[in-house]
Structure 1
Amino acid sequence: MDFPQYKSEINNNGFAVIDAVYSQDEIDQIAEIIDRTDSDSATFRKSKDLFAIRQFLKEVPNVTEVLFNQKLKNVINSVFGEDYFPIKSIYFDKPGNSNWFVAYHQDLTISVNQKAEIENYGPWTVKQNQFAVQPPVEVLENIFTIRIHLDDTDENNGALKVVPKSHLKKIYRPETIDWNKETEVSCNVPKGGIMIMKPLLLHSSARTVNNINRRVIHIEFSSLQLPTQLQWAEKLTVN
């Protein structure tokens, strides 16, 4: 793996795609563990267009060993840094007939253990008993997101579309995008590959048109400690 190249792509463009992080056997193991999980928890969201598991690593702890294989650990340590740890995780299963789509946005909130009055932290929201808050932009700039793809994903089944370099513009409102100046890229990822992105990168996801499922595990990483009143809601130590 060309770690310096991936790091450069992420710093300059806001994203990178790395193929073959997982074997077919590892993908099958991950899928089997997910399929065996009791889906009645409040953190599970089920509809005809989407199946999602919030706090994924907490809800499906048995997946951790196979998910954090040596290749992924090498990526985290070499591209992010050895002091980075998971802070948020979600599993998405977008069915092949899904009409679900997400408009252009940045990921502007973090998940924390409680609500507290702290300067420059806000606004606050609560989803399924999970507190989320928009932190100072410096906190967001420290975060890396890894999207692990359990299916081949392209523009026909909801691959992320991104605006390269938009992560360098701090808070960038989607309604202000000037398409005469900006470009759009489809981040196609083969099964077993990963996409790394910065949360401030403008990204969207279109409807599925080819009847092929898209299963993705989304994990966010940080190396920061939050103000003393707050803790990361899903902080996990991965050896």
Structure 2
Amino acid sequence: MNYERNKIELEENGYSVLMDLYLDHEISQMLACIENAEQNGNSFMKTEDLFAIRQLIKNVPELSDLMFNKKLTELITDLSASEYFLTKAIYFDKPSASNWFVAYHQDLSISVDKKVDLENYVNWTFKKGQYGVQPPIEILQDTITIRIHLDKTDKNNGALKVIPKSHLKGIVRADSKDWNIENEFVCEVEKGGAMLMKPLTLHASSRTTNGKKRRVIHLEFNKHNLTEPLAWLEHYEIKTSTQQLGSKAAK
């Protein structure tokens, strides 16, 4: 398949939606892996409104071969001219009765292995045993987010809303006058499809109103090494010839 159209849309608008990345049986296999995983430790978060697994490849390693099928590896190759690697993998399950919503924001934080005082690395956080930091803007600009949809997702069960082209404005305050809510677009995605996004694209998520689940695997890719001695918390090389990942995850 050729994903040139998706690449152009991602660069110009800050997002793109594609269908048929996975077959039904591939989705079923991925969900079975997740359901069979031991759900303990800081990487697992469960509330009435959300269940999440951070460091997904580390905690559910069987998923890597299933996720990185021929279509996904071709997609990543088509999207990027240089060698990209996986820097973040999270599973989100928004239950059918969830009242959880997220206001408009940009994804400005990356997960790193330690806290180090470095120029242009700001707004440090420490949550669930993980350090987060806002890196230099070129790292955010070169990040590619791929959200794999394990359920059909529309405006009634939490499909992401985006402000097209907002990623071109750099880092903006959510209450800024530089963007207009009237321009928002709802990214409805079929089961087995995916949403591509730039992290600087302003995006939001509404409450679930139709009683249907919204399960998503959120992947982030980058091509930059961080300023030494800082390193990505997760770093998995993509081996397109075998559709497998090679781990260089931080210890």
With normalisation by structure 2, the TM-score equals: 0.93
TM-superposed CA distance for 1:182, in Å, is 5.4
Which residue of structure 1 lines up, in the alignment, with residue 249 of structure 2?
none
- CA RMSD of the aligned region, Å? 1.2
In the alignment, residue 165 of structure 1 is paired with which amino acid? K
Residues 177 and 151 (structure 1), Cα distance of their counterparts in 2 relative to 1, 3 Å cut: farther
Residues 77 and 208 (structure 1), Cα distance of their counterparts in 2 relative to 1, 3 Å cut: same
Q: Answer with 176-185 or 108-117: which moved more.
A: 176-185
Which residue of structure 1 lines up, in the alignment, with residue 118 of structure 2?
118
- Residues 136-179 of structure 1, C-alpha deviation per residue, up to 9 Å, x if partnerless? 11110010000000000000000000000000000111101456
Q: Distance in 1 between matches of 2:63 and 2:3?
A: 25
Q: Distance in 2 between matches of 1:88 and 1:47?
A: 22
Which residue of structure 1 lines up, in the alignment, with residue 10 of structure 2?
10
TM-superposed CA distance for 1:126, in Å, is 0.6
With normalisation by structure 1, the TM-score equals: 0.97
SS in 2 for 1:200: coil
Q: 4+ runs of 1 displaced by more than 3 Å?
A: 177-182
- Whether the 8 Å CA contact 1:76–1:82 is kept in 2: the answer is no
> Any unmatched runs of 5+ in structure 1?
none
- Residues 53-88 of structure 1, C-alpha deviation per residue, up to 9 Å, x if partnerless? 011111111110011000000000111235001001
In the alignment, residue 228 of structure 2 is paired with which amino acid? T
Which residue of structure 2 lines up, in the alignment, with residue 64 of structure 1?
64
- Whether the 8 Å CA contact 1:163–1:203 is kept in 2: the answer is yes
Which residue of structure 2 lines up, in the alignment, with residue 166 of structure 1?
166
Residues 135 and 178 (structure 1), Cα distance of their counterparts in 2 relative to 1, 3 Å cut: closer
Aligned residues: 239
Which residue of structure 2 lines up, in the alignment, with residue 91 of structure 1?
91
TM-superposed CA distance for 1:49, in Å, is 0.7
Give the percent of matched residue pairs that are identical in Structure 1 and Structure 2: 51
Q: Distance in 2 between matches of 1:117 and 1:182?
A: 40
Which residue of structure 2 lines up, in the alignment, with residue 142 of structure 1?
142
